[in-house]
Amino acid sequence: MRVPLQTRPWLDPLVAVVMAGVGAASIVLGPPTDRPVLQWVLVEAAALSLALARRLPTVGLAVSTVLTAVTGLVLPDVSHVAPLAAGVLLGVVAYRRSMVFTAVAWAVTVAAVLAGMGSEASELLDGTDGVLMTLATVLAVAAPAASGRYLSALSQAAVVAEERVREAEERRLVEIHAARMTERAHLAGDLHDLVAHHVSAIALTAGSAHYATAHAPDEPQRSDAALEGFLSIQVAARQALDDLRGLLHVLRDPSSPDVLVDPERMITDAVERSRSAGLNVTFTHDSRVGQVPLALRLTVARVMQEGLTNALKHAGPGSDVAAAVAVRDDRILIDVTNTLHPASAVNLPVSGHGLIGMRERVEVLGGTLDVGPAAHGWHLAAALPLAAR
């Protein structure tokens, strides 16, 4: 596996200077030789080959293996810089290149080290001691290659793990987006039926007023009938504007219709279904909620449905549930608290889409939704401003 080069152009010259110093120190502190110039050339060349480790490790390994063999033949037992450089570069090549290429590089390096034993090779590699020496050489050269392959595997595993995390995050965002679009489709369905409801009410009121004025026996009664009709139409129109103000910005896919029912009936049905399924539901409903705009009452109904559904899914039959809808100052408060009943909990899988949709719906109207653990159970609380934005 190829890794990107570090963006530090000064690092290669620094490595060259340091390795040149190491090579010089090995010559000065090492045993003397009758060919000092050749010694300096070979040792410094082997040390400087490490400067190729970042950009051209294969070239550096080729240079160091050749110098390992030549130094061992020309200046035996004088310096070990060349085989050490070859080992380091072999590790870099093993990290960067494939397994097959690493195996070939390892074999070439072993051959160079054995060849560098020179005239003493026949004696060193003869008999049982020779087998042990050869095995030790093979293993010594294999060590940096194995280290490089191991680090390469770790790097590849890290890349795969990052890709999986990124894919999981992308999938989560897609699911959240889908859940929000689904909830927006429900809101848009409510918008469609809301308009039909109010327009129908206005039309019926206007028709009734027309009929009353046409059949009234005298002028005062005709005037009263007309005035009453106008007032009813005014109230219905104002209610329609209040409801539309909370839903008008929502768009939806027209292929996903949603049937609008009475919000109070939705809550009643949800409570009855929960009780039939085994929950011990205590429900409190503030009568003043029926006077607020329809958009808010629909959201109250949907949030209550979601809270009772979650209680049934995760608390299980036999659990106690306290549900309440109340008007406090300028807000509508929805509260669903349930206890856990481990003996009967159904432990259904959690998708989280329902809560995502409810949070989207509540925030659209300027409210807040809090969900989390409570004492011996779970708690859902929502607050919606009466003046929904």
130 — phi, psi (to 5°)? -65, -40
Burial of 168 (C-beta count, 10 Å sphere; 0-12/13-18/19+): exposed
Tokens of 342: 């481990």
pLDDT the model gives residue 345: 45
> Which residue do the tokens 């060919």 mark?
35
pLDDT the model gives residue 325: 94
**Domain residues of the chain, as ranges?**
11-124, 173-247, 263-385
158 — phi, psi (to 5°)? -65, -40
3-state DSSP assignment of residue 386: coil
Q: Which of 284, 306, 317, 294 is nearest to 384 (CA)?
A: 294
Contact 1, 152 (CB under 8 A): yes
Burial of 287 (C-beta count, 10 Å sphere; 0-12/13-18/19+): exposed
Burial of 304 (C-beta count, 10 Å sphere; 0-12/13-18/19+): buried
9 vs 126: CA distance, rounded Å: 48
Task: Give 10-residue mean pLDDT values along the chain (389 residues).
Answer: 56 74 74 76 81 84 85 73 84 89 89 72 60 80 88 90 90 78 65 58 68 77 78 72 58 42 80 79 89 82 84 76 91 89 49 68 86 82 79
User: Cβ of 75: how many Cβ atoms within 10 Å?
Assistant: 21
User: Cβ of 314: how many Cβ atoms within 10 Å?
Assistant: 17
Pairing of strands 377-385, 368-374: antiparallel
311 vs 27: CA distance, rounded Å: 80
The C-alpha R_g of the chain, in whole angstroms, comes to 41
Question: Residues 6 or more apart from 241 whose CB is under 8 A from it?
Answer: none
pLDDT the model gives residue 381: 92
Angle subtended by helix axes 11-29 and 81-96, to nearest 10: 150
Angle subtended by helix axes 294-314 and 127-215, to nearest 10: 140
Burial of 33 (C-beta count, 10 Å sphere; 0-12/13-18/19+): middle
pLDDT the model gives residue 282: 92
Pairing of strands 280-285, 320-328: parallel
Question: Is the pTM higher than 0.85?
Answer: no
Tokens of 237: 């129109």
pLDDT the model gives residue 239: 65
Contact 83, 69 (CB under 8 A): no
CATH superfamily of 263-385: Histidine kinase-like ATPase, C-terminal domain (3.30.565.10)
Q: Which of 318, 375, 380 is nearest to 346 (CA)?
A: 318
Residue 371: which region, alpha, beta or left (left: phi > 0; alpha: psi -120 to 50)? beta
Helix, strand and coil content of the chain, in percent to the nearest 5, comes to: 70, 10, 20
Contact 326, 382 (CB under 8 A): no
**How far apart, in Å, do the first and last CA atoms of the chain sit?**
56
